[in-house]
Chain A
């Protein structure tokens, strides 16, 4: 039982990171129906960007992270303007492939600068684990949880309280109606990519401080996003959070209970098995919009 609880707790911490990455993904999908396969590299670039800033400028680490977030915002705007806007109205495959191409370029850039090695952030939190009854929680996991929750709070406030946030919700709901009411759709699309990149960068920094920085490991989280968003519903923001948490916990449980039986790897494949199951039974996920087609 203790093991179970322990796995769940660390799973929740990891799941929050997935939730963040999934959130950025869903924001883009809702606004423009684009499947962003480069999300993982936004994560990696955010983390490595913070590392680079901290090394180059010797700023305090928190400021370096902030700088990296701003950089990610700009990158998101740029990506939308240069790559996605010319492809509006093009077939699905073109839009998917442009994000694949972007992923390859970003991956190449990261490899050029850092190679495939492992890096670490400066130690911020104490290493000694906290004890809550029988459970052991490391401060980094706790910090991850706090930062993710904070980011979620900012997110909710943004969508409820700001004009741009409301405009984004309007565009997601009905593009034409929003346009008729004077919402600038291109601006909203740009904002959605900027937010996606910045949220991903946050997730990247959080993962980087838990597991260290490695280009492949960080970018793989971008693929873990798919089970999370399909489970939650591709176009549902709460769904992304719930899906991310569920996948994080599930993966940890699979790693704890199934891996010893099958000799490893269950942790990586379990989310994708769930993905296939969900697609077969309930393709629109837990909270997604049901699209009904009749011939």
Chain B
């Protein structure tokens, strides 16, 4: 195997079908990704303090969930306003499997994902008849019904007192502390991204995109809509469920007030900001939406000398900025950060020429 270290090909021509299906145009991208992963898994835990690791962990969990949402909303075109609650289902499933059934960590997390997938499929059944706005409303209802179950079905969820999740053991290694979870969560995020990336190059992924672009045309060329929509719902819920279960183990407790409509909207915002229907979009979006409140906090602390009382207004300020970011992206950057990144790269690829 020869390594081709060309920064970019002159033009977009392919001579073999394998080239068309390959993820990277040349080995530079492959090496860059490898270097990034090594840096991320080895360098970051060495350098970063607990605060940065916490942020990275929250962002990593958000990446997993946002990738799930992207699969459903970005690629299959089924809008969901209920992913926050589905994450809650994953968290509760993980907690119950771990605390009540004493399943080990490595089994409880995927099992929680599977349970969430089942739950997602149940709430995806309306997609047989509904689409667009109606489906969005149906998932909104799912959000409220699941929230009700979290709070009021004491036998299963222990109501508002919630669950204490047992410590996570991977074989002899006890996963505890920010650094340990950093590796676990990052690995899961990478796996999810690879999974979604590869899925989209298969028959299933192409069917998803066909359904998104025109569902009637997709049905006409022989794609059975309902099974594929259900599959999209389950896969997406699986990912967000895994994120939820990891979150449960990471925090050590599960309480219902984490998984509200606001979380669902956060996930949608990640999709919008990053760029729906792109593989890397959810990563950018998750990082931006996770880091945004922290930036605001730091900013308001810096300004508290000039404007006393600004730290008290932080929650309100966060809402305003959050909304403004969503609106600004929709109006001025509707394809999200992923598209901006592509444009910037294309610019430098042919620089100094326009194209």
Contact = CB atoms under 8 A, between A and B. Distances in A.
Interface stretch (A48-56, A86-94, A146-154): A86-94
A35 interface: yes
Contacts of A96: 79, 133, 136
Contacts of B334: 90, 94
B21 interface: no
A256 B151 CA distance: 19
Interface in B126-154: 126, 129-130, 132-134, 136-138, 140-142, 144-145, 148, 151-152, 154
The range of chain B's interface size is: 35 or more
A282 to B, nearest CB: 10
A234 B138 CA distance: 13
B319 A104 contact: yes
Contacts of A100: 265, 268-269, 323, 326
B294 to A, nearest CB: 17
B331 interface: yes
A109 B327 CA distance: 15
A80 B129 CA distance: 31
A4 B145 CA distance: 25
Nearest to A111: B316
Instruction: Choose among B132, B136, B327 the residue with the greatest number of A CB atoms under 10 Å from its CB.
Output: B327
A87 B208 CA distance: 25
Contact of A101 (B132, B144, B276, B327): B327
A107 interface: yes
Contact of A279 (B137, B324, B330): B137
Interface stretch (A11-19, A177-185, A270-278): A270-278
A87 B57 CA distance: 35
B258 interface: no
Contact of B323 (A103, A226, A263): A103
B100 interface: no
A103 B261 CA distance: 13
B279 to A, nearest CB: 18
A265 B148 CA distance: 7
B327 A226 contact: no
A276 B324 contact: no
B216 interface: yes
A87 B331 contact: yes
B322 interface: yes
B214 to A, nearest CB: 11
A283 interface: yes
A35 B323 contact: no
Interface in A214-229: 223, 226-227
B145 A104 contact: no
A269 interface: yes
Contacts of B320: 104-105, 108-109, 112
Interface in A263-295: 263-265, 268-269, 272-273, 275-276, 279-280, 283, 293, 295
Interface string B155-173: 0000000000000000000
A23 interface: no
Interface string A73-90: 000000000010011001
Contacts of B141: 226-227, 272-273, 275-276, 279
Nearest to A116: B315
Contacts of A283: 129-130, 134
B313 interface: yes
Contact of B137 (A86, A230, A268): A230
Interface in A225-267: 226-227, 230, 234, 262-265
B133 to A, nearest CB: 5
Contacts of B138: 275-276, 279
A285 to B, nearest CB: 10
A102 interface: yes
A176 B220 CA distance: 29
B273 to A, nearest CB: 10
A111 B319 contact: yes
A164 interface: no
29 contacts: A83-B327, A90-B334, A94-B330, A96-B79, A96-B133, A97-B269, A98-B330, A101-B269, A101-B323, A101-B326, A101-B330, A104-B265, A104-B320, A105-B324, A107-B319, A108-B320, A112-B316, A112-B320, A223-B261, A226-B141, A268-B148, A269-B144, A272-B144, A279-B129, A279-B130, A280-B125, A283-B129, A283-B134, A295-B220
Interface of A: 33, 35, 83, 86-87, 90, 92-94, 96-98, 100-112, 115, 223, 226-227, 230, 234, 262-265, 268-269, 272-273, 275-276, 279-280, 283, 293, 295
Given A98-B327, A269-B148, 13 more contacts: A93-B73, A93-B272, A94-B330, A100-B323, A101-B269, A108-B316, A110-B316, A226-B140, A262-B152, A275-B137, A275-B141, A279-B138, A280-B126
